[in-house]
Structure 1
Amino acid sequence: MSRKLQSPKLFSAHFDIDPAELDMAGLFDPILNCDTPLFVDPLLLRTSSNEVASGECYDQLRARFANVVRLLDASQNPGDPAWKAAERQLDLSERPEACLGFGGGSIRGSSRPEALRTTILKTTKEIVRLGENDPEIISLMGMFEDGVGPDTISDLTTTAISKGLAKLTSEFAVAHGITVKNFPQFFGMPLPSNPYRPNTPVLLVPSDVLRDLPLATDWSDVSEVAFQNQLIRDAFNSFVGDISKATVSDKKHAIKRAAMLSLENFRALLEAVLSGSTNYDPNEDILGFYAFRKVLSGNLDAFRGGIAPPRTKSKEEIVRIVGEIIVHFRRLVEENNNWELLWSNGRPRKERAAQLLFFAVSDAYCQANNVDISPEMNPGGGPVDFKFSSGYANRVLVEVKRSMGAVKHGYEKQLEVYKAASNTDAAYFLVIEFGDNWDAKLQAITDLRNAAVIANEPASLIEIVDASQRTSASKR
């Protein structure tokens, strides 16, 4: 599937409602033509402030998982009727309706390998044999098994609670005059239709059940809550060996073996994990997802003017326009207090936050000034690059780095790989400075550029934006 995002469209923008209405209802405002890498964490449902989520959705999740556990308890061998019935209950299909996950520039759904479902069922059966029948054991599969990632847990949960999500979405849509249609496969409820996905409704999700990685698949969180129990900690250490050399796969196998030593061990782990899950905090917003939405949902009037449309479709013109966008981006950050969107609790947000903010600003300037150039980005995992293009041949890349990151490597190696892959020699290297001591890094990339210019070789342009913390205007 395509992993490039162009012209992101928020649910609130398409259906012409104030984003604050979604905030007040505690619902996440999804991008309709792209998945956001946040995930539904089943461990958060029972504590959600949304009554449908903590009530009906949580009951639906436990009922679905309880059926799987009951059937596995009755099964004598894999493949027998009870096992096959459990398979049917454990639906691992991707769920495009929530616009969440790693889909990149798409929300297309598909099915996962059958072997993955078999792995989950076998591990669940082992736990049932141990004597544990709490249906929430299925939520822990990402902790134990390779290949069971956050998207799998999230989609599994979304399927189990789809009736509850359909209800809260339908109630919100009808109350706010949003155009809806009936979807028979969603219990006949009137739901908004996704214009980028024919015959697919939108399911809104409460913000407080979302995480950037569900606890059961985020090793740092798992270890923090699980190792508070000495039984688990000691057993884990006996299996993992040298933890400094252990891979995530090694750690998963070790925590599984530690938990499966006894029912006491398993219940200690289950209790620790159930009490340790927290949602992705919109206020901290370490990855910048909410800051991104703030720019996308803002008034485009602030971005009008200042960029002359391209006079030709030449590469030189695109380089000029991208340069002007960077100038405006710098002004917004340095002079209009948008540096605040790059900080959280006195710490710089992660690099993805800076990349998302630049992308949102770029897209807003192109829209507001009717510039026929579409910025693209890769919103999923892996490298993130920005490509501005007009026609097939004329492309300009922008790579965004934080000053405390691997600046020299990014300029000398990473950006060159992207340029070669995009068949262009035109690029900007945009460094976001956070007030750290990075003079040596700046000198290094400046020397590299100067050497390339002297050798008459293509040299990526270097731009710097000062996002260091300022005091408020009233204190200055």
Structure 2
Amino acid sequence: MALKLVFTEYFDITETKMEQHGALNICLNADLPLFIDPFLLFASDKKEYKIQHDKIVNHLISLKEIAKNDGDNANLSLFKFPEIKQNWLGLCKYGNNGKGLGVKFAKDIISAFNGFYSNFGSETVSDTSHIEKLTLVGSGVGKDFISDFSTNLMFEFLLEYTESFAKKYLKPHQIKTFSVRCVYDEDLMVWKPREFELPFFFLEENGDFILLTPMDILTKDEAFICHNDLVGNFRNVANSIGNYSLRESVNAYFQKTLPVLPKKKDIELAVSKTINQYPEILDYYIRKKELEKDKSKKISSEKLDQLKNELIKTLGDFTKIILEESEFFNTRPTSYDESLKRANYLKDVIENNDGYRVFYHKGKAIASEDTVQRIFRLTWYATPFDVNAEVNNGRGPADYKISHGSGDSTIVEFKLAKSTSLKKNLENQTVIYKKASKSINDIKVILCYTKFEIGKVNRILKKIDQEGAENIVIIDASPKVSASVAG
């Protein structure tokens, strides 16, 4: 059975074609942790991107007018936006179903437009308005809003972008016509459908369409304009204020609010209080970021390259090594036996089939716990078992819960040996999850990058009387010397 985990594999095309179109080679098994950053639209030299940025901002300004005019009586449906799952970007480690922007977001943003952000769209310090502004202080509007809202407003553009790729590079049987609601009628205030010829899951019955996204508008983690960056650079922002009187007032107020030996939380509180006293600071911060727009493209490119090396390439390389043909797709023992077998299978691939190589880039160890978790999920391709990632059983999220019916479940936890909390986690974590979920089995998988880390783990296991335990799988991902070199 061939594993077709990424777009190029599924559609049997070269990565060069994706690169020529500028599109991200998405994973079709789980979301990639990437997001659209609207500041990259603003910072781009491409006219079509600038048009999209203006479209996003103008729609938000129109919503602000509705919020101010109608207040609590505003039509909430106008302020709700579903997650567009077909782009396969977001936080889901398996699948692509997210929450989107629902009722809570609608109420929060209506409140924000009638409060702290009532001047949105009428700024004079910055070149233009930026939707990221709404996430800079505690308005209840979270950073997830940036990508979800932007994707919804760019939906028609992304569909056109994907359609042009499909018509140029894909075969007729790989394309299907879909009617998609993506065109906003400003007079009727409704979203209207439009037809597109799009790539789809042609190997599946009633397969959904797939949406491609340009790489140069994507970022990993934080947007270029964000709360953490504002807090971290607050003194520089304050000192950049051209108005002497305002600059002195801001610095004096901020300094007065800080304790003698401030901790991180003290600084965050002082920043928040100062912004509430002098809200125009946000516009000076945004103006400072506008002047650094060339830096935004470089940072985004570096983050994307990092993710491509650490995750996308790792997933592809791993499947090429051994998962393309696997006996595990046909086995059906208990959840514990199956989970243990697959954990040991992962260990064998990494230790004995050069699988360790995918965890290194230019000699540097790159895989995080998240990377190993995603790779482990691939070993459950086409399985009858229910595999839930980060299931919350009342005591915080476990990495995986594998189950087959209500009476057969196993929890699998992944850790890096270098973790400073490894001993504590080995002693307590899975036990807590078991009690909360009534799971009868548990397995711990520990990835070691050096012989020293292997020794550290063995010492910990000996100390807690778990040495040689069947359900603790230690994976040696240290670089191996080939037989020819050793000889």
User: Which residue of the partner structure matches residue 303 of structure 2?
Assistant: 281
C-alpha RMSD of the superposition:
4.4
Q: Distance in 1 between matches of 2:128 and 2:157?
A: 18
User: Which residue of the partner structure matches residue 399 of structure 2?
Assistant: 385
Letter in 2 for 1:203: L
CA contact (8 A) 1:64 1:89 kept: no
**By how many angstroms is 1:92 displaced?**
4.2
- 1:465 maps onto 2:475 in alignment: yes
Match of 2:102 among 111, 115, 129: 111
User: Which residue of the partner structure matches residue 331 of structure 1?
Assistant: 348
**Which deviates the most, 111-120 or 187-196?**
187-196
Match of 2:436 among 415, 421, 445: 421
**By how many angstroms is 1:70 displaced?**
7.9
**By how many angstroms is 1:386 displaced?**
2.5
TM-score by length of 2: 0.73
Q: Distance in 1 between matches of 2:123 and 2:342?
A: 61
**Which deviates the most, 123-132 or 149-158?**
123-132
- 1:63 maps onto 2:55 in alignment: yes
Q: 1:430 to 1:200 in 2, by over 3 A?
A: closer
Q: Distance in 1 between matches of 2:289 and 2:205?
A: 38
User: Which residue of the partner structure matches residue 358 of structure 1?
Assistant: 376
**By how many angstroms is 1:276 displaced?**
4.3
Q: Distance in 2 between matches of 1:211 and 1:473?
A: 41
Cα offsets for 1:62-118 (capped at 9, x unmatched): 13314644886xx6x963279999999866443223232235644255524222222
Q: 1:198 to 1:402 in 2, by over 3 A?
A: same
- 1:304 maps onto 2:306 in alignment: no
Q: 1:423 to 1:432 in 2, by over 3 A?
A: same
CA contact (8 A) 1:219 1:248 kept: no
Letter in 2 for 1:192: P
User: Which residue of the partner structure matches residue 140 of structure 2?
Assistant: 147
Letter in 2 for 1:38: L
Cα offsets for 1:217-244 (capped at 9, x unmatched): 7555445666554616984753762552
5 Å-filtered alignment, 1:169-180, equals 169-175=162-168, 176-177=170-171, 178-180=174-176
Cα offsets for 1:397-423 (capped at 9, x unmatched): 321100011211221111112223342
5 Å-filtered alignment, 1:150-189, equals 150-175=143-168, 176-177=170-171, 178-186=174-182, 187-189=194-196
Q: Distance in 1 between matches of 2:229 and 2:485?
A: 39
CA contact (8 A) 1:226 1:269 kept: no
Q: 1:149 to 1:267 in 2, by over 3 A?
A: closer
Q: Distance in 2 between matches of 1:245 and 1:342?
A: 33
Q: 1:224 to 1:91 in 2, by over 3 A?
A: same
Q: Distance in 1 between matches of 2:391 and 2:19?
A: 23
Q: 1:390 to 1:83 in 2, by over 3 A?
A: closer
Letter in 2 for 1:111: G
**By how many angstroms is 1:154 displaced?**
0.1
CA contact (8 A) 1:39 1:154 kept: yes
Letter in 2 for 1:404: K
5 Å-filtered alignment, 1:40-119, equals 40-46=36-42, 54-66=46-58, 68-69=60-61, 79-80=68-69, 92-103=81-92, 105-107=95-97, 109=100, 111-113=102-104, 114-119=106-111
Letter in 1 for 2:376: F
Q: More relative contact order in 1 or in 2 (CA 8 Å, sep 6+)?
A: 1
CA contact (8 A) 1:183 1:201 kept: no
CA contact (8 A) 1:69 1:135 kept: no
Structure 1 gap segments, 5+ residues each: 1-6, 454-458
- 1:401 maps onto 2:415 in alignment: yes
Q: Distance in 1 between matches of 2:338 and 2:330?
A: 8
The alignment-based identity, stated in percent, is 18
Structure 2 gap segments, 5+ residues each: 183-193, 242-246
CA contact (8 A) 1:239 1:258 kept: no
Structure 1 residue matching 2:102: 3-state secondary structure: coil
Cα offsets for 1:137-169 (capped at 9, x unmatched): 222322233533332100111122222211110
